[in-house]
Chain A
Amino acid sequence: MNTTSTHFVPPRRFEIYETTLNQVSMWEENFKNNGGIYIPNSIIIPTDAKQDSLSDDTSHGTPHKFDQEASTSRHPDKTQRRLAQNREAARKSRLRKKAYVQQLETSRLKLIHLEQELDRARQQGFYEGNRVDTNALGFSDKMSSGIVAFEMEYGHWVEEQNRQISELRTVLQGQVSDVELRLLVDNAMKHYFQLFRMKSAAAKIDVFYIMSGMWKTSAERFFMWIGGFRPSELLKVLLPHFDPLMDQQVLDVCNLRQSCQQAEDAVSQGMEKLQHTLADSVAAGNLGEGSYIPQITCAMERLEALVSFVDQADHLRHETLQQMHRILTTRQAARGLLALGEYFQRLRALSSSWATRQREPT
């Protein structure tokens, strides 16, 4: 082996040539072990050293080129060239690695999305399964088909959402005009408003379905407030992404946070009252007698109010988004919408990861 030539390397030059030599040795081993066939891997080799090793192997002679001491004093240009080529090869290798990692991450995201779709399809299957036993489970045909339609529409909504988020991310990384950005921001806002409309229609069909959040992933459901995200939570998530804020904006955001919290608390208390009233209706009269039609009828009437609560909660979400849009500049709003979109993406990814983890055999 040629490693003996390291003895001839003067100490002060050792560190420069050490890596080169080791890499060349590794390559030679690789070459020999693979039956003389060069198998490319991430080992970095200066190209002219490769030629040298080849000739060295066949001739078994003293490798002149590896006599470092001799070559540095006699051929400074060659070593400089070798170093440059080494750097270039290292750079290319880093780029290749980066591309590979990016590929991996994209595939992983795709996998997560596919798993979510699968979960949703399973849930749909559950709902459609119920349709078969309409009498047994008490779901009306119209209810099921309305909800199935909502689920499908929601699936498309999420796809479009992901597309918009990617677009925002890409655009914000480069140079983008305010005009183009405003268009993207307006589209993103309209997209959220569309969801509220969809939910309103679905709530009229089956308010319990919307309230239970069955159309969302498990982590999203955990944070739910009356059929959706908490407006105050939204502001909390977005706030750090707006810096720097102008003085007037700081004041406006402060006021919005306070009024949002107050509105949310008021609606929450109304909701609690509804729950109490509903529970009282169901439990009214004498429990245990086996006839409870009046109680059910009364409770049914009260349940109608639940729809208006879901609407009101969505109205708060709508207005909070609207006010943020008013307070912020286009650029700030774009960053905020990107942050919000990714926040929900992460919650969905969390749900998938958690579900996968549980399925692993212990």
Chain B
Amino acid sequence: MDKVVRMSSEKGVVIVSKSSCCLSYAVQVLFQDLGVHPVHEIDKDPDCREIEKALMRLGCSTPVPAIFVGGKLVGSTNEVMSMHLSGSLVPLVKPFQANLC
């Protein structure tokens, strides 16, 4: 769990997902559209089970996708979509947008 939080603090935006999860993929696509390229597929991670359990404990009804921004858990697909439609997602991820030079 700490690993994920640490990663998030380093990279800024992390999507905890599984390669088989298509909703996670949808969230990925959305972030890519906003110029952010995060992702951490935990099914390839040895600590997969642990991370899943930790996420459930944090209150996520489904472990994946779980989106972290700046070290904090933002939520799952629902939260991200709501935030984007209300206009609060872009300012949140702005500091982490990739500069496409």
Contacts and interface: CB of A to CB of B under 8 A. Distances in A.
Given A259-B84, A319-B82, A323-B86, A265 B23 contact: no
Given A259-B87, A308-B23, A269 B81 contact: no
Given A312-B77, A319-B81, A320-B85, A270 B26 contact: yes
A189 interface: no
Contacts of A312: 23, 26, 77-78, 81
Contact of A323 (B20, B77, B85, B89): B85
Nearest to B89: A259
A262 B22 contact: no
Nearest to B84: A259
Nearest to A323: B85
Contacts of A260: 85
A319 B45 CA distance: 34
B55 interface: no
A320 B85 CA distance: 7
Contacts, number: 71
A316 B27 contact: no
Interface string A291-319: 00000000000100100110010011001
B98 to A, nearest CB: 16
A273 B25 contact: yes
Given A259-B87, A262-B30, A316 B81 contact: yes
Interface size class for chain A? Answer: 20 to 34
Interface in B31-50: 33-34
Residue among B22, B26, B62, B84 having the largest count of chain A Cβ atoms under 10 Å:
B22
A252 B87 CA distance: 9
Contacts of A102: none
Contacts of B62: 308
Contact of B22 (A252, A259, A271, A315): A271
A276 to B, nearest CB: 9
Interface string B65-101: 0000000000001100110111101100000000000
B1 interface: no
Interface residues of B, number: 22
Nearest to B26: A270
B30 A263 contact: yes
A312 B29 CA distance: 15
Contacts of A266: 26-27, 29-30, 33
A319 B98 CA distance: 28
A83 to B, nearest CB: 64
A301 to B, nearest CB: 9
A305 B23 contact: yes
Contacts of A55: none
B33 A262 contact: yes
A305 B87 contact: no
Contacts of A273: 22, 25
B21 interface: yes
B85 A319 contact: yes
A309 B23 contact: yes
A305 B62 CA distance: 11
A270 B22 contact: yes
Residue among B25, B81, B84 having the largest count of chain A Cβ atoms under 10 Å:
B81
B44 to A, nearest CB: 17
A323 B89 CA distance: 14
B87 A274 contact: no
Given A270-B25, A312-B77, A315-B78, A256 B30 contact: no
